[in-house]
Structure 1
Amino acid sequence: MKGTMRIPGYLVTLFAVLWLAGCTSSPARHGSGGDVVAMPLTNTYWQLVSVAGEPVPETDSEQKAHILFLDDGRVSGFSGCNQYMGKYRVEGENLLFDSMSSTRMACPDNQTEGQLFAALAKTVGVNLGGIELRLLGEAGEELAVFEASRMR
């Protein structure tokens, strides 16, 4: 046929694969069987979703309470009012925080900050699955829950 261009089948397949890859937006990665693979502890932005068994209240603040673990053993974050930083170490299934400090801005009625700092002080374990990070106390109780989130 004159004037008709035929696109090779492999190009159509390649285009379809690239288009589908661009449509995925989930922060968790999927394994070969479709199961969700845990986000890594380090270099992931973990947004606080609950602390002391209570959901974190919504705020008008652009910056949400979060924690970030760095590869070199440092940890930093935002409590909802103050920046905090310190050190952490992982020993087997134990996660321990050390040398924690924070800025000292006055915060009107910021209950989340006090609960978060108490949870960090009591943390001895961690449960990491999918996009959730759970800080655990000595008896295995859940102290705080974080969710992997995109940096804003």
Structure 2
Amino acid sequence: MKGIMRAPWYLATLLAMLLLTGCTSSPATDGPGGEVVAMPLTNTYWQLVSVAGKSVSETDNQKKPHILFLDDGRVSGFSGCNQYMGNYRVRGENLLFDSMSSTRMACPDKLTEKLLFAAFAKTVGVNLDGIELRLLGEDGQQLAVFEATRMK
């Protein structure tokens, strides 16, 4: 993801992103007895918990950054400032992002977005553990952590 560039938006992805950003969510716990069940990578709403070792907080004025992997290899989400989209490939534990683009809204604080886009560019692996999704760098370092949530 060398530089975020503008790209044409796909209507279906844009509609999905708009619907997702307006929904509330809760932790994904639906197993017998309320235990946490493993969530699939695709078609799961993943909220950003931390990036580059920094916790991501949600305020009333800001939507929580998130990511959504679709079955057809497309990815979309919200960085805390801008909508983004692109493609991804998974082979075993390897995950690569490709052709990433975003809107270019002017925002007062773009630190989370900058760190998230840098994490996408460095991602070579993925670790799924229950409701946690970790993007991993070349040496296995944790670049970003997301938590699965179910839509209410």
TM-score range, shorter chain: 0.7 to 0.9
Select the structure of larger CA radius of gyration.
1
Residue number in structure 2 paired with 1:100: 100
Structure 1 residue matching 2:150: 3-state secondary structure: coil
1:112–1:26 Cα change, 3 Å: closer
Aligned partner letter, 2:28: P
Residue number in structure 1 paired with 2:129: 129
Q: Distance in 1 between matches of 2:63 and 2:150?
A: 12
For the 8 Å contact 1:28–1:130, the answer to whether it is kept is: no
How far off its partner does 1:35 sit? 6.9
How far off its partner does 1:91 sit? 1.1
Q: Does 1:145 align with 2:140?
A: no
Structure 2 residue matching 1:40: 3-state secondary structure: coil
Q: Distance in 2 between matches of 1:52 and 1:92?
A: 24
Q: Distance in 2 between matches of 1:28 and 1:125?
A: 25
- List gaps (5 residues or longer) in structure 1: 1-24
TM-score by length of structure 2 reads 0.76
- List gaps (5 residues or longer) in structure 2: 1-25
Structure 1 residue matching 2:151: 3-state secondary structure: coil
Residue number in structure 1 paired with 2:81: 81
Q: Distance in 2 between matches of 1:98 and 1:74?
A: 9
CA deviations on 1:100-149 (whole Å, 9 max, x unpaired) are 00000011122100000000110000110111000000000000000011
Structure 2 residue matching 1:108: 3-state secondary structure: coil
Q: Distance in 1 between matches of 2:62 and 2:118?
A: 24
Q: Which has the higher contact order (CA 8 A, sep 6+)?
A: 2
Aligned partner letter, 2:87: K
Taking only the aligned residue pairs, the percentage that are identical comes to 79
Structure 1 residue matching 2:89: 3-state secondary structure: strand
Count of matched residue positions in the alignment of Structure 1 and Structure 2: 127
Structure 2 residue matching 1:114: 3-state secondary structure: helix
Residue number in structure 1 paired with 2:28: 27
Residue number in structure 1 paired with 2:71: 71
